[in-house]
């Protein structure tokens, strides 16, 4: 990292880089991020050295403070270990999280809203900023879909394991006979891509529509056509945004979502081609769930990819997802 920083700082010394302000700003942003990463390692190294010196003094009066510092250092090292598993091209960046209700009618839409709350709580725990870009509410309860921008370091890397179908088993609050229902919701996670990712949009390929943003009524209902829906004609991919009062801002956010989906499509096609060459290709379909949340007749949340499970379902629904995320990341590098 220090060698990379040295190289980038040398590039920044060239006064001609400001001939292209956008590229210069990206370079400065990259330098600042790299400096922060290096500084975090240096601080950790110094803290470890200081703790070791204190431990060698064998002073009983500082033992409690030293044990507290050792526990905090162990936590910091664990976080560093996790970060090394997030080495993908977009893992350090911001994410776009979309939740789409699947089979199960009103129960599924209510389940989607429960997942929305879960992820917002999780993001809050990590200090990430969130913004709802687009939401479609259900007729009776819950939501049909929602797209949330999650901004913070490693947001995409940590959310990436959540992509897939989530299954809920419970006694339905919408069934007068109080029967057990199974609901499905699909979670989509995309990186918030920059302009230099190779995803170029030809304006002639885009169908842009404006419409009046929906809402629950009252002062927040838009009286103008500020909501924007963009269709990428060659692929049929659609992205919409209706959160902002400005049509321009909604268009920018919709384009951001569209670019993320096109990037994912490009990556899927490349991976499929590599799998074909390896003789491992399987058709991607709406497959089985990645995780089950059981609230009746017992409580349990289990990830079917790693077999990691938690008996306290409510804590998971309150945003305690790190155990599932870490288990998945470790499984991808052969960890235990």
DSSP string, 10-72: HHHT-GGGGGSHHHHHHHHHHHHHHHHHHHHHHHHHHHHHHHHHHHHHT-GGGHHHHHHHHHH
109 within domain boundaries? yes
* CATH number assigned to the domain comprising residue 244: 3.30.160.20
Note the maximum CA span of the chain: 74
Instruction: Specify whether 185 is located in the same domain as 111.
Output: yes
Confidence band for 244, pLDDT divided at 50, 70 and 90: low
Instruction: Specify whether 304 is located in the same domain as 186.
Output: yes
- Residue 283: per-residue pLDDT: 43
Q: Is the pTM of this model over 0.95?
A: no
Domain final residue, candidates 23, 55, 84: 84
pLDDT of 163 above 70:
yes
Rounded percentage of the chain residues whose pLDDT exceeds 90: 49
pLDDT of 90 above 70:
yes
Instruction: Specify whether 184 is located in the same domain as 301.
Output: yes
Domain final residue, candidates 84, 117, 141: 84
- Residue 272: per-residue pLDDT: 73
Structural domain including 138 reads: 95-192+290-332
Instruction: Specify whether 136 is located in the same domain as 18.
Output: no
197 within domain boundaries? no
Q: What are phi and psi of 24, to 5 degrees?
A: -65, -40
Tokens linked to 258: 């569209």
Q: pLDDT tens digits, residue range 233-242?
A: 998 999 988 8
Instruction: Specify whether 213 is located in the same domain as 232.
Output: yes
- Residue 223: per-residue pLDDT: 46
Determine contact, residues 326/319, Cβ cutoff 8 Å: no
269 within domain boundaries? yes
pLDDT of 72 above 80:
yes
Range from 62-66, 69-73, 79-83, 146-150 carrying the lowest mean pLDDT: 79-83
Pick the residue with more confidence: 79 or 55? 55
The residue whose two tokens read 């110094």 is: 46
- Residue 153: per-residue pLDDT: 87
198 within domain boundaries? no
* CATH number assigned to the domain comprising residue 295: 3.30.70.1660
- Residue 280: per-residue pLDDT: 47
Confidence band for 92, pLDDT divided at 50, 70 and 90: confident
- Residue 217: per-residue pLDDT: 38
Instruction: Specify whether 305 is located in the same domain as 171.
Output: yes
- Residue 85: per-residue pLDDT: 86
Give me the number of domains the chain comprises: 3
Please give the average per-residue pLDDT across 138-156, as a whole number.
91
Tokens linked to 285: 């379909």
Rounded percentage of the chain residues whose pLDDT exceeds 70: 89
Please give the average per-residue pLDDT across 120-140, as a whole number.
92
Instruction: Specify whether 312 is located in the same domain as 270.
Output: no
Determine contact, residues 37/80, Cβ cutoff 8 Å: no
Encode 169-198: b = buried (16+ Cβ within 10 Å), e = exposed.
bbebeeeeeeeebbbbbbbbbbbbbeeeee
Q: Measure the CA–CA gap between 286 and 49, rounded to whole angstroms.
A: 51
Computed over every residue of the chain, the mean pLDDT equals: 86
Q: pLDDT tens digits, residue range 204-214?
A: 899 999 887 76
13 within domain boundaries? yes
Instruction: Specify whether 75 is located in the same domain as 10.
Output: yes
283 within domain boundaries? no
Please give the average per-residue pLDDT across 129-158, as a whole number.
91
90 within domain boundaries? no
Please give the average per-residue pLDDT across 10-25, as a whole number.
89
DSSP codes joined into one string, 176-235: TT--EEEEEEEEEEEE---TTSS----GGGEEEEEE----SSGGGS-SS--EEEEEETTT
Domain final residue, candidates 16, 50, 84: 84
Q: pLDDT tens digits, residue range 101-110?
A: 987 789 999 9
First to last CA, the chain: 28
pLDDT of 216 above 70:
no
Segment 22-30 long-range contacts (CB within 8 Å, at least 24 positions apart): 22/195, 26/194, 26/196
Q: pLDDT tens digits, residue range 183-204?
A: 999 999 999 876 555 677 888 8
Instruction: Specify whether 174 is located in the same domain as 308.
Output: yes
Instruction: Specify whether 180 is located in the same domain as 296.
Output: yes
- Residue 165: per-residue pLDDT: 93
Confidence band for 252, pLDDT divided at 50, 70 and 90: confident
Pick the residue with more confidence: 22 or 2? 2
Helix, strand, coil share (%) of the chain residues, nearest 5: 50, 20, 30
317 within domain boundaries? yes
- Residue 202: per-residue pLDDT: 85
Instruction: Specify whether 186 is located in the same domain as 209.
Output: no
Q: Measure the CA–CA gap between 281 and 283, rounded to whole angstroms.
A: 7
Instruction: Specify whether 159 is located in the same domain as 184.
Output: yes
């Amino acid at each position: 990292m220090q060698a990379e920083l040295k190289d980038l700082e040398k590039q920044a010394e060239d006064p001609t880089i400001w001939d292209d302000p956008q590229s210069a700003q990206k370079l400065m942003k990259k330098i600042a991020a790299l400096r922060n990463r290096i500084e975090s390692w240096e601080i950790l190294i110094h803290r470890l050295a200081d703790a070791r010196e204190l431990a060698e003094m064998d002073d009983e009066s500082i033992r409690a403070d030293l044990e507290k510092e050792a526990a905090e250092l162990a936590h910091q090292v664990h976080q560093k270990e996790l970060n090394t598993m997030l080495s993908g091209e977009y893992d350090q960046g911001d994410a776009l999280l979309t939740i789409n209700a699947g089979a199960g009618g009103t129960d599924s839409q209510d389940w989607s809203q429960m997942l929305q709350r879960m992820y917002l709580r999780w993001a809050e725990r990590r200090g990430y900023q969130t913004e709802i870009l687009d939401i479609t509410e259900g007729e009776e309860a819950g939501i049909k879909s929602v797209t949330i921008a999650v901004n913070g370091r490693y947001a995409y890397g940590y959310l990436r394991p959540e992509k897939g179908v989530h299954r809920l088993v419970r006694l339905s609050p919408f069934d007068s006979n109080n029967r057990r229902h199974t609901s499905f919701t699909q979670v989509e996670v995309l990186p918030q891509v920059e302009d230099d990712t190779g995803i170029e949009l030809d304006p002639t390929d885009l169908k842009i529509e404006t419409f009046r943003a929906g809402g629950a009524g009252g002062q927040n209902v838009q009286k103008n056509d500020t909501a924007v829906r963009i269709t990428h004609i060659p692929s049929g991919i659609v992205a919409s945004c209706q959160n902002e009062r400005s049509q321009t801002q909604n268009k920018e956010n919709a384009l951001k979502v569209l670019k993320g989906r096109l990037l994912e499509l490009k990556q899927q096609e490349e991976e499929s081609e590599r799998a074909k060459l390896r003789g491992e290709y399987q058709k991607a379909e709406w497959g089985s769930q990645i995780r089950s949340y059981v609230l009746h007749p017992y409580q349990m949340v289990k990830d079917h990819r790693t077999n990691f499970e938690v008996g306290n379902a409510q804590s998971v629904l309150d945003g305690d997802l790190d155990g599932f995320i870490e288990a998945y990341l470790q499984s991808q590098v052969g960890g235990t």
